[in-house]
Structure formats: structure tokens, C-alpha cells
Structure 1
Amino acid sequence: MIPFNQPFTIGNELAYMQDAVQRGKISGDGFYTKQCQFFLQNRYGFKKALLTTSCTDALEMAAILAEIQPGDEVILPAFTFVSTANAFVLRGARPVFADVDPLTLNLDVAKLESLISEKTKIIVPVHYAGISCDMDQLLEIAKAKNLLVVEDAAQALDAKYKGRPLGSLGNLAAFSFHETKNVMCGEGGALAVNDANFLERAEIIREKGTNRAAFFRGEAAKYDWLDVGSSFLPSDLNAAYLLAQLENLETIQQQRLKLWNTYYKELKPLADAGKLQLPFVPDYATNNAGLFYLLCRTPEKRTALLAHLKAQGIMAVFHYLPLHESPYYLKHYPKVSLPVTENAARRLVRLPFYFNLTENQQSRILEAIRKFYT
């Protein structure tokens, strides 16, 4: 079986983990955590980058920083992972789901203003597959309406919008280093803080609501409980693994882009023949090869293709189930119709995609797809 995903090592992951143990500190905010944070800040220009145990935790920190209250509304696409909504629902917010653009599967900015009400507090663009949302118009609307922007950049590390790194455009942004992402540490994430108003409080919230980080830097005589918060710090073992991957980011990206471009080139004849739809990269965006998907013509064709690939020893999968159709949402909120989201979610197939996918394995996958369609 060719798996859908496969974790990998590329450099000093294991050596750095051993070194973290020998340094005598493997809990949060150790040497390797700080190195990862410096890397992210220096490469992407964030005012502050804070490693977290997951992208989910980074989003939950964003919701606390934004002071979400019961009754507030947050606009986000329904085509996303449940964490994007849960982070704000946990604080009492009502998710207001937007439909997506049929080409990028990102939040359809043209429909954004119609969703804004007096209760709206945040817009959460999700950069699906590492391809940027149309951010100029979104940021303009947010500024005019005095709304915060929290980028869900879980899949968007090293991707850009008009030359600017994704995650640097909103007030806050959340990244994922889950094992399915470009660079990984099993479970991990980061909160990027771009709004100076949030810098000090973000650090306090991350440290259980205390000024412990400032205390360890010698900036406070003692540390106290100052705010709400939780334990959002990852183990320095995770950070050690992550740093080794960040150090090899260029090599990882080159290989992933090679795999992505091969998929696209080899499947384009089927797309040109109208048998399937391939990912679309707008002129304003760069492609970070976050994942590779295709859209079948019908849900029935998708089901048949997945079964065919499985029979050939290839594990391909579908992706998000639309959140506005979930049992939880329908139990608590009125039903809404998002036709583009519903249509795309029922037709989408994600192909195996990971750093050490071999040429032979990729050729097998492509041949199996061609066989299915011919």
C-alpha cells in the first residue's frame, strides 16, 4: 500500500532531540523552542512567533486575545477543519460560514460584506492547500468595518500573497506542524503575532495566564497570575525535531514542488479533456505545495476513483466535510446553503503527497488514475 502520508527525517532531528535531553530541559520554552521562533520571525517578518502544541491551540490563543464574548460572530469558510470554528465557539462566538471560490476553494471575498453584522468581530481566511485568499479586498473590508483578521495558515508555511508571506498579513495567524504538513514535528503549531497590541498578552496567555516568560528573562521579580490562559507550550523535544526540518526547508520545498508539478503536468491532459479539475494558483499567490488534490466531475465518480485506487494499493482520501452540514452545527444553528462548498467537498480527492514519495510510487499513482479514466 502506498500510504496517504508518511513522516520523515531529513537532517538532525534525532540528534537535536538527544541534545535537548542532555541540555536538561525538555519542557516548554527550551533552547530549541526559542531557535524555531527566531527562525520564523527572521524569515517571515512576524513581530513575534510563539510555538504551540498545535495549530488548534494557536487559534484558541487568537480567540482569547481577541476577547471573544458570547454572542460575537466570526466569519470563516465552512470548508475547513473543525478547529477553525471550535477555537471561537469555545469562547461563545457564533460561526458565520461563507461559501468558497470555485477555483481556489478559499473564502469567497465577493460574498463577505453581506455576512457582516453589528456582532461580527473577526474574519478568518483559510489559505487552502497553501494557496492564498484574495487578501487585499478582505483586509480593506476588515479595516473599514474595524474587524480583526486571523489567518488560518495551517497549510500555508512559506507561501506568499503578492510577495508577502502568508501569516504576516492579518493581526494574528496560526500555523500547523502536524505530520501531514510541509515541515512537521508530529504535533505542533505556532501563533504569529503581527499586531503590537497583542505582543505582551500573547506571551502571558501562552504561559497559563502568568508573566513567567518575563520572569525567566529577568524582567520581573516574580511571576503572578495576570490573565486567563492555558498551557500552550510544546515540549522542547518537538521543537528540536521541528528545527531540523526548518533548517532543511529549501530542500523540502524543492522536493514537494517537484512532486506537485509532476502530478499537475501528468494529469493536465485529463483536465483538458474535462474529466477532472486540477488546483488553481492565482497570479497573486505562490504555490507552497501544501497538498495535491483533484476534483472529480461527480460525487459518484469520486467514490469510484477512491475505491479503484484502494484496490490498486494506493491510499487516497477525501478532505473536509462542510462544517455547516455537521451534526453539531445543525443542532445549534439554523441551516444554511453553501452550494459551492457542498459541491466541491463531495468531489474532492487528495492524492498521496509527502517528502519521500518516490518516483516509482508517483508513477504507479498516475498510471492508476489514467487507467481509471480510460
Structure 2
Amino acid sequence: MSTISIPFNSPYSTGNEWHYIQDAYKEGKLAADGKYTSKCQEFFEKKYGFGKVYLTHSCTHALEMAALLMDLKPEDEVIVPSYTYVSTANAFALRGCKIVFVDSLPDYPGIDPNLLPQLINDKTRAIIAVHYGGLACDMEQIMAITRKHKLFLVEDAAAAINGFYIDPNKKRQPLGTFGHFATFSFHETKNISCGEGGMLVVNDPEFISKADEVWNRGTNRKAFNAGNKNKYEWVSLGSAFAPSEINAAWLWAQLEQIETIQQNRKVIWLWLKNNLPNLLEEYEIEWMKIPSHAEHNYHLFYGLVKNFKQRDELIKILKQKGILAVFHYQGLHTSPYYLSLENPIQKLVQAEKYSDRLIRFPLFANLNTEDLSQRMQ
């Protein structure tokens, strides 16, 4: 069995993580919603112009929070790209909603806006736009559709921190500022990480008061602590969405050096772009394209091989060289759970193409490209 010398991912450490965790301990506050939670939330609100930010245990939890805030019911329909992580659909399936899958674009795994109008009916409540790999969806088209049909827009921006949308006038706008809600991940595979973590962005002020309750297990804790309520009561559905100060302290150390981390990833990404086509020339790989409306955040580097057999062979060969490359999502419209609900079998050509042919290569801030190059010879 080969030893992996170059992993697919290696979490980045700034060196200050343990210092801030110890500081949180000295403050006597390790549970949720302390000093470091506030620092992180304020950072995102100021740097990117997000609405109200709520740190969560994961992007999954952030999506579940959004589903609660929209008060979705079992008769409601939610449009979700098939080529995405299961959490994107799960959050709304947990509310009993019908999940309606939409296909990807031919040259980008993100949602195809041209297919959305035919999927909308009087039961449709929301569209979930997944910014695949930190690359922006076509937000002009998607927002025009959600406004026309008066639908909620949720940005699943799990991998998209520090990603931007470029509008037709060349104005750049941070991903996560378009939807009524946006969700992000700080899982160890993401650019900015705290092991497991996420956040919900509430851009519509109408939902902030409700979000305070949902984030606090469905209680009026925030209003009570502020002296605005004379009783601490259960007032809505909610859950323990807020992470501990340990996670927030680790995250804060990362946020302090976000520009350094991003610059490191950019250097690695550009090396991959300039060198992998030559190193893997014999495979005739179609390399990832950046949509003209996207300013990406160097989260991932991928290519499309000819078929799933070649994909598995290449992954195996790289593993023998000590390099861990991986495939990505499997279309949710073909998943055992979805089909077990007696949903009709669909043919989503592009989602199936990416499921079979997409391969992701190692990309992390301290990747040794010299070692990678030598092992690929």
C-alpha cells in the first residue's frame, strides 16, 4: 500500500490559534457567543458588507437555520442543483420540502439559470444557488428570476469566502451579499478553517429578530440579556446552532491572516494552472474554466477526464506516486435516498458528466509544488 506524501488537503495554521484558545479560557468563556464569536462576526460584516452574521457549527447548520427562517412547509418546493453536497438538499428535505433538481452548465458545474423558469410553479418557495468551488453563479440572471417570481434566494457559498461576482459593468460584489440568506463553511478543507464551522448571513433585515431566536435554540435569550424581556422563554423553533468559543478563537487567528492565506493559495493555483497541463498531457484533460462573471478565490483546481474509468485510473496512478487526488460530488438526482422516495429517474446530462469525469487535485496554502512536480514525472 502506497504512502500518501502529498495529501489532497492540509489545514493551514497561522501560529496564533492556540494563543487565542488559551485567551478564551482565561476569559472564562468557552461556550457560544463570547468575545471571539463577536470578533469573527463583525469582521465579516465589515470586510464584505454582509448583513447580520451568525457563526454556526457548519455550513449544514447554516442552511438548516435558513430553512427555519423561511418557515418552509411540506408542500413547498425548493430548487437545488443536483451537482452539490448533500447538505444543500438535506436542509430543506428536513423541513419536508420537495426538492426539485436542476442541471449544471456545460462549461461550469454551477446552476444553469436558463433551466430555472420551467421548474417554477405556485409551490416553489426558494432557489438555492451554489457557488461551486468559490466560483460565482450568474447572479444577474438568477436574481432577475427570483424577483420576478417573488422567491427566496439562498446562496450556498460554502467554499466561496473571498469570492466575487463581476457584473456587466465590471463592478465586483462579494459572494454572500446577493441572497436573502447566504451560508459559508469553515471545514478543514476550506480556505479559512476552524476544523468544523460555518456561518449564516442574513441580508434581509426582516429576518434578523427571528434569526436571533433561532440561533439561540428558539429562545428570546438575546432580548432577555439586553433587558428587553422580563422572562427567558421558548418563543420559536430553533437549535444549538452557535459554535463554541474554541472554534471561534481558532477561526479568528485565520481571519487575521486571510490575505496571506489567499495569496499563498493564488501562487499554488497559478502553478497548477501553468504546470499540470504539461505534466498530465497524455490524458487530454479539459481544464477548469473561470466564468467571465467570476473572480474566484483559489479554492480548488480541477479537470475533466474522458470518462469515469479514466478518472479512477488516474486517481490510482497518482496515489501510487504518493499524491492524493479525488473526484467530487455524485449527482443527487441519482442518489439512493432520493430515488427511495419514489421520485422519477431524471437525466441531468451535465451533472452526470461532472460526477463521472471531474477530478480535483491537491491544493492547499503550504503545498510543496516542487515535490508534486517530481512525483508526477
Q: Which band: TM-score by shorter chain?
A: over 0.9
Aligned mates of 1:364, 1:294 — CA distance in 2:
20
SS at match of 1:106: strand
Aligned mates of 2:371, 2:357 — CA distance in 1:
24
Q: Decide which of 307, 310, 315 is 2:316's aligned counterpart.
A: 307
Task: Tell me how far 1:218 sits from its aligned partner.
Answer: 3.4
Task: Tell me how far 1:269 sits from its aligned partner.
Answer: 4.9
Aligned mates of 1:217, 1:177 — CA distance in 2:
29
- Of 85-94 and 213-222, deviating more is 213-222
Task: Tell me how far 1:292 sits from its aligned partner.
Answer: 1.3
Q: Decide which of 178, 197, 217 is 1:169's aligned counterpart.
A: 178
Aligned pairs (5 A) from 1:96-135: 96-135=100-139
The answer as to whether partners of 1:85 and 1:95 remain within 8 angstroms in 2 is yes
Unaligned runs of 5+ in 1: none
Task: Give 1:342's aligned residue.
Answer: 352
Aligned mates of 1:361, 1:216 — CA distance in 2:
55
1:78 lines up with 2:82 in the alignment: yes
Task: Give 2:272's aligned residue.
Answer: 263
- Of 240-249 and 216-225, deviating more is 216-225
Task: Tell me how far 1:13 sits from its aligned partner.
Answer: 0.7
The answer as to whether partners of 2:187 and 2:195 remain within 8 angstroms in 1 is yes
Task: Give 1:363's aligned residue.
Answer: 373
Q: Decide which of 142, 149, 152 is 1:145's aligned counterpart.
A: 149
The answer as to whether partners of 2:324 and 2:362 remain within 8 angstroms in 1 is yes
**Coordinate RMSD, CA, aligned:** 1.5
Task: Tell me how far 1:12 sits from its aligned partner.
Answer: 1.2
Q: Decide which of 11, 14, 38 is 1:34's aligned counterpart.
A: 38
Unaligned runs of 5+ in 2: 167-171
Task: Tell me how far 1:222 sits from its aligned partner.
Answer: 3.1
1:331 lines up with 2:316 in the alignment: no
- Of 266-275 and 205-214, deviating more is 266-275
1:13-48 deviations in Å (ceiling 9; x for gaps): 110000001100100001100100000100111120
State the TM-score, normalizing by the size of structure 1. 0.95
Aligned pairs (5 A) from 1:215-230: 215-230=224-239
Task: Tell me how far 1:274 sits from its aligned partner.
Answer: 8.1
Distance 1:217 1:363, change over 3 A: farther
The answer as to whether partners of 1:102 and 1:344 remain within 8 angstroms in 2 is no
Aligned mates of 1:229, 1:11 — CA distance in 2:
35
The answer as to whether partners of 1:176 and 1:189 remain within 8 angstroms in 2 is yes
Task: Give 1:204's aligned residue.
Answer: 213
1:45 lines up with 2:55 in the alignment: no
- Of 78-87 and 345-354, deviating more is 345-354
Task: Tell me how far 1:220 sits from its aligned partner.
Answer: 2.9
- Of 259-268 and 114-123, deviating more is 259-268
Task: Tell me how far 1:271 sits from its aligned partner.
Answer: 8.8
State the TM-score, normalizing by the size of structure 2. 0.94
The answer as to whether partners of 2:323 and 2:372 remain within 8 angstroms in 1 is no
The answer as to whether partners of 2:271 and 2:369 remain within 8 angstroms in 1 is no
Instruction: Report the residue type matching 1:347 in the other structure.
Output: R
Aligned mates of 1:100, 1:317 — CA distance in 2:
20
1:215-250 deviations in Å (ceiling 9; x for gaps): 223333332111110110100000000001011000
1:316 lines up with 2:320 in the alignment: no
Aligned pairs (5 A) from 1:229-268: 229-268=238-277
Distance 1:223 1:99, change over 3 A: same
SS at match of 1:303: helix
Aligned mates of 1:24, 1:7 — CA distance in 2:
27
1:133-174 deviations in Å (ceiling 9; x for gaps): 001010000000000000000000010002110011000000
